Amino acid sequence: MPDSSFTPDELMAVVIARQVRDGETVATGANSPVPAAGCLLAQRRHAPRARVIILGSRRHYPFATGKEFFDFAQRGRLDLFFLGGIQIDAQANINLHVLGDYRHPVRRFPGAFGSGVLYHVVRRVILFRAEHSRRVFVPRVDFVTSPGISPGWVRRPGGPDAVITPLAVLRFNRALGRLELASVHPGHTVAEVVANTGFELPVPAEVDTTPPPSPEELALLRGPVLDELADTYPRFVARVRAAVPS
């Protein structure tokens, strides 16, 4: 059984926080409250020199326009960015456009909003998704919004690093050009992760269990971090606070 002392949102935010390194310049998208919470948690706990940029935030967005932000990223100034995906496959290709045939889709989504560029130029990109299922983690995405790997002739200083879900952490193996299982979250099993992944998932002989959130991490997340996010993501903050175990 999953640990009832924290919520899936809190677990993912804590796991994301642990990926942030001190001194990095880190950015999150305009609809990414969980990564934003994780980055602010990291800044307050172990990465005080991290610079956190949150698209859509008045406090944490130092640019006048989106063009300035993308110019900043294309100059190689971003160390870490977070991307979601309607679909994600074994090669860490992401789909943010359509389900089904592109010309006659079952459903169409807003699209990339620069994700294709950021996936290439940011040093590390961590994918995240609040649902770990076979409809998300598919054998092959219906449309490649941005590829996880590129031909050798393509200049690509960055790329995928990991995927974080409510069940596990998948790590991108650059040598093999594919995702593999890194750790399983408390209360879940390797078999559960494999069963909910639509592509073959390499599993090491010994699989780590993700350390659960510590009391210190939860206290910071539930207190000053959510306070800091309230202006940008009021609904998310209200939802997380309402779900906090009593």
Q: Can you tell me the distance from the alpha carbon of 36 to that of 7, in angstroms, rounded to the nearest whole number? A: 16
Answer whether residue 111 shows pLDDT above 80.
Answer: no
What is the arithmetic mean of pLDDT over 56-70? Answer: 92
Report, at the CATH architecture level, how domain 8-243 is classified.
Answer: 3-Layer(aba) Sandwich (3.40)
**In terms of pTM, does the model score above 0.75?**
yes
Burial 140-170 (b: 16+ CB within 10 A, else e): ebbbbbbbbbeeeeeeeebbbbbbbbbbbbb
Residue 80: which residues within 8 A CB-CB, separation 6 or more?
19, 20, 21, 24, 25, 26, 27, 122, 123, 124, 125, 126, 161
What tens digit of pLDDT does each residue of 136-185 get? 999 999 999 999 998 888 888 888 999 999 999 999 999 999 999 999 99
Alpha helices (runs of H) in 20-170, residue ranges in sequence order: 33-45, 66-74, 115-121
Ordered by start, the domain boundaries in the chain are 8-243
| Cβ neighbour number for residue 72 with a 10 Å cutoff | 16
